[in-house]
Amino acid sequence: MAKWLITLGILLIALGLAWPLLAKLGLGSLPGDIKLERKGYTFYFPLTTSILVSLVVTLLLWIFRR
């Protein structure tokens, strides 16, 4: 269990460091991402981006388990 948590932590750190590069590629501003801007308030929910990242991670885990 500890091995999986360490691996997950390393992957999250790598994703966090790579996020500016991914943002330049358009990830995070896809159609379907919800962004509401009001005076003094911004709400952002990356729905489409979350689904896409989930599909990619699921596919990678499925490939590596085989």
Burial of 52 (0-12, 13-18, 19+ CB in 10 A): middle
Average pLDDT for 9-13? 87
Average pLDDT for 9-20? 85
Whole-angstrom distance, CA of residue 16 vs CA of residue 8: 12
User: pLDDT over 90 for what percent of the chain?
Assistant: 21
So what's the pLDDT on residue 40? 92
Mean pLDDT of the chain: 86
CB atoms within 10 A of CB 29: 13
Among the ranges 2-6, 20-24, 37-41, 49-53, which has the highest mean pLDDT value? Answer: 37-41
